[in-house]
Amino acid sequence: MSGHVLILGGTGEGRALAFALVESGQPPEVTSSLAGRVADPALPPGRVRVGGFGGVGGLARWLTEHAVDAVVDATHPFAATMSQHAAQACSRVGTPLLRLQRPGWSQAAGDVWHRLPTLAAAAGKLDALGRRAFLTIGRQEVAAFADVDAWCLVRAIEPPEPPLPRRCELLLARGPFDLPSERETLRQWQVDVLVSKDSGGEATAAKLTAARELHLPVVLVDRPPIPEGVPVVDTVEAALAWVAATLPAI
Ligand SMILES: NC(=O)c1ccc[n+]([C@@H]2O[C@H](COP(=O)([O-])OP(=O)(O)OC[C@H]3O[C@@H](n4cnc5c(N)ncnc54)[C@H](OP(=O)(O)O)[C@@H]3O)[C@@H](O)[C@H]2O)c1
């Protein structure tokens, strides 16, 4: 197999794909791209570039200048802008693109979930469901909750972008979080409603189990749609098979 694969990363899946491709030695060139949002990211093997490309045009140029043969968009399920840009840039320069996205979470017996399409809709519903909310939605969109009446425990890896909820406490922490610690967090802060995006994956799923045990309502924000026409897989193995089938054999 010959060629250069660009992984749009920032997730465990992106890192795992980089490990598998670099370990196999095929293709010879593997570059992971990170947005540069966190100060101390877990770096994948292979080449790493950090920072935005400068929109669709910038990414299209990068793909051409670096002779990229295939792109795997392994960004977070909620990184919708990057996914749209990847779809447009790849279509413009004719580079094959795959979306690698882990499955969303599924409701189990005992769950009290309220699925909403956006964070704004979630914020609009919050005060009807509880008085002490646990916001686990990352740090970029906490502003959607600026006007809620509920007190909010806001957990993020780095300080959220303001404005914050009027009454809130900040918990800076990086997952994974296990079930005992999630139970303890809900009890210690007397949380009565949990807010999360449907990120999927094991690393942050324990909060949903803890909420189920305590019969707490969960406001779950749906994922944005995947750009039309882009093939999707939900495992690293399937992404490896796609890369093997897409890149030319030597
Ligand atoms: N959104 C979340 O909930 C979330 C959670 C955990 C991790 N992440 C990770 O954090 C990163 C940023 O997420 P986001 O929600 O800010 O994305 P986004 O809103 O879709 O992207 C905004 C801009 O950030 C740049 N960008 C995003 N991902 C990039 C990447 N992998 N490499 C280079 N540039 C990138 C692009 O800038 P240009 O237009 O200049 O190219 C993009 O237009 C992603 O890699 C994502 O996997 C996101």
- Residue 229: helix, strand or coil by DSSP? coil
Q: pLDDT-based confidence at 249, cuts 50/70/90?
A: low
Atom number of ligand 1 nearest to Cα 59: 41
- DSSP-assigned beta bridge partners for residue 5: 30, 70
DSSP letter (8 states) at residue 173? -
- Nearest residue to 46 (alpha-carbon basis) of 71, 72, 28: 28
Q: How far apart are CA 4 and CA 13, in angstroms?
A: 19
d(CA 79, ligand 1 centre) in Å? 5
Q: What is the pLDDT, as a whole number, of residue 248?
A: 75
How far apart (Å, rounded) are the C-alpha atoms in residues 119 and 109? 25
Q: Which two tokens stand for residue 43?
A: 């770096």
Do residue 121 and residue 217 come from a single domain? yes
Q: 117 and 199: one domain? A: yes
User: Which tens digits make up the pLDDT trace of 48-69?
Assistant: 999 999 999 999 999 999 999 9
Same domain for 19 and 49: yes
Indicate whether 134 and 210 sit together in one domain: yes
Regarding whether 230 and 177 lie in a shared domain, the answer is: no
pLDDT value of residue 27: 86
> From ligand 1's centre to the CA of 131, what distance in Å?
32
Region 16-25 average pLDDT: 96
> Do the beta carbons of residue 138 and residue 158 sit within 8 Å?
no
Please compute the mean of the pLDDT values over residues 165-173 and round it to a whole number: 97
**Ligand 1 lined by 14 (C-beta under 6 Å):** no
Structure tokens at 99: 């979306």
Which one has a higher pLDDT value, 202 or 143? Answer: 143
What percent of the chain is predicted at pLDDT more than 70? 98
CB of 10 within 6 A of ligand 1: the answer is yes
Report which ligand 1 atom has the smallest distance to the Cα of 55.
Answer: 39
Q: Tell me: do 61 and 148 sit in the same domain.
A: no
Residues 149 and 234 in one domain: no
Q: Any bridge partners for residue 98, and if so which? A: 72
Answer yes or no: do 193 and 241 share one domain: no
Residue nearest (by alpha carbon) to ligand 1 atom 37 = 52
88 and 128 fall within a common domain = no
pLDDT tier, 1 (very low <50, low <70, confident <90, very high otherwise): low
pLDDT of residue 37: 87
**Mean pLDDT value of segment 210-215:** 98
pLDDT category, 138, cuts 50, 70, 90? very high
pLDDT at 186: 98
Counting the structural domains of the chain, the total is: 2
CA of 111 to the centre of ligand 1 (A): 30
Please state, in angstroms and as integers, the Cα–Cα distance from residue 10 to each residue in 27, 38, 146, 202, following that order: 21, 9, 27, 16
Q: How far apart are CA 136 and CA 133, in angstroms?
A: 10
Which CATH number covers residue 35?
Answer: 3.40.50.720
Output the average pLDDT for the chain.
96
Same domain, residue pair 135 and 87 = no
- Residue 39 is predicted with a pLDDT of 82
Range of the domain at 121: 112-221
Residues 153 and 183 in one domain: yes
2-36 in b/e form (b: 16+ CB < 10 A) is ebbbbbbbbbbbbbbbbebbbeeebbebbbbbbbe
Structure tokens at 49: 């570039």
Amino acid 36: pLDDT = 93
Q: Residue 250 above 80 pLDDT?
A: no
Q: Are residues 67 and 50 in the same domain?
A: yes
